[in-house]
Structure 1
Amino acid sequence: MTSTSAPEVDQRPTKGAGRAKDPATRKAALIATLVAVPVTVVVAGITFARLAPDTPAAAPSPTATTARAQATTPVEMAAPALDARPAVVCRALVSQLPDSVRELRQRPVTAGPEQNAAYGDPALTVTCGGAEPTVDATADVWTVNKVCWYAEQKSDATVLTTVDRETAVTVTVPLSYEQPLQWVTPISDTIVASVPSDGAAPAGCRA
């Protein structure tokens, strides 16, 4: 008697089996994705906000070496006649003056370009060949780069005049320019190179 065996059933999973998801599972996954994306964006935004500066960087403030806007018109100055020797000395001085005093650029003058110079706006002026002031032991005198200056305070400017040179040089510094002695530093260098000393510096100016 021949026995008949039950047909074998292939129990291997068929292609694609197990991949299908029921509608409830797919809906839950979609909701999780929609929630995760906005959360990621929010986190990124918070991180960027923390790293970014609170306020934009301020523009740099002007400094002593920053060029300021100024007029280019001639500065009105007097030009009294000079004796022969002072005229030669003043011509040498003016020809060697710098093009700028700190950030102030040189401007033309209305008279005496061989003995006068001007810088900036308001104008800082240089006059060569004027009268040397008489100073005593109580006078305000200052040495700047080996040049002795007498300081006289006016209502609108500080007037600095050399008191140790063969020919006097006067620099008028408007009050809007603070610390007037600092403005005569480059001019002092030119004076040392072009205006001989008279060897009679006041006691307050001696090193």
Structure 2
Amino acid sequence: MTTDAPERRAPSPARVATIAALPVALVAGVVAFWGLGGFPSGPSSAVVPAEAPQLDPSPAAMCRALVSRLPEELGGLHRRQVTAGGEQNAAFGDPAILLSCGGAAPAIPPDAQFLGLSDVCWFTQEQSRQTVWHSVDRQVPLRVVVPKDADGSWLVNLSPAIVATIPTAPAGESHC
């Protein structure tokens, strides 16, 4: 009795080469895509929205000095890119803590309470999902937006760079 089973043929050399090359090409493509920035490195890789008002030369120079002095990591939060004004804005973590340097000084409400933290004087404005901290004793206004679930301790981490680069306002203009 004979069986009519189909004959098994060896795969062609072209097919073997294709099967071997496909995973190598796939891995090389993924590595190249990742190396060119195609894959985000985590949840905090998105660019943080920021405004960048035009600054006069002196405030612009102070803001550049401040931003260049800020660390790449702030208390375990990695620095992130901003949409505008990388020379006057910096962001850390996810959700982002956003420091903005320069621009118009905020109107200080009559009932504002001032808080001195590590040689910088601030007042806060509570909003639904964030707290906005405004410096009130510096020659250049600073604004730090902190997510509601974070506390003001992040300002203490920013203070050394602020104190080193943004001089205090003339006497009488501080509230602390």
TM-score w.r.t. length of structure 1: 0.61
Query: Pairwise CA RMSD of aligned residues?
Result: 1.4
Would the aligned equivalents of 1:70 and 1:120 in 2 still touch at CA under 8 Å?
no
Selected match of 1:87 from 60, 64, 76:
60
Larger Rg: 1
> Alpha-carbon deviations, 1:17-74, whole Å to 9, x = none?
xxxxxxxxxxxxxxxxxxxxxxxxxxxxxxxxxxxxxxxxxxxxxxxxxxxx642121
One-letter amino acid of the structure 1 residue matched with residue 162 of structure 2? I
Selected match of 1:77 from 39, 43, 50:
50
Q: 1:130: how far off?
A: 2.2
Residue in 1 that maps onto 2:32: none
Selected match of 2:166 from 195, 198, 202:
195
Gaps of 5+ in 2: 1-41
Would the aligned equivalents of 1:94 and 1:117 in 2 still touch at CA under 8 Å?
yes
Percent of aligned positions that are identical:
41
> Is 2:133 aligned against 1:160?
yes
Would the aligned equivalents of 2:115 and 2:121 in 1 still touch at CA under 8 Å?
yes
> Is 2:92 aligned against 1:109?
no
Rounded to whole Å, the distance in 1 between the matches of 2:49 and 2:120 is 27
Would the aligned equivalents of 2:54 and 2:103 in 1 still touch at CA under 8 Å?
no
> Is 2:83 aligned against 1:135?
no
Rounded to whole Å, the distance in 2 between the matches of 1:172 and 1:115 is 14
Rounded to whole Å, the distance in 1 between the matches of 2:73 and 2:155 is 12
Q: 1:198: how far off?
A: 0.7
Q: 1:136: how far off?
A: 5.8
3-state SS in 2 of match to 1:88: helix
Q: 1:189: how far off?
A: 1.4
Would the aligned equivalents of 1:160 and 1:172 in 2 still touch at CA under 8 Å?
yes
Residue in 2 that maps onto 1:125: 98
Rounded to whole Å, the distance in 2 between the matches of 1:150 and 1:132 is 12
> Is 2:124 aligned against 1:151?
yes
Rounded to whole Å, the distance in 1 between the matches of 2:154 and 2:43 is 17
One-letter amino acid of the structure 2 residue matched with residue 75 of structure 1? V
Rounded to whole Å, the distance in 2 between the matches of 1:161 and 1:135 is 9
TM-score w.r.t. length of structure 2: 0.71
Gaps of 5+ in 1: 1-68
Q: 1:76: how far off?
A: 1.6
Rounded to whole Å, the distance in 2 between the matches of 1:165 and 1:125 is 18
The number of aligned residues is 133
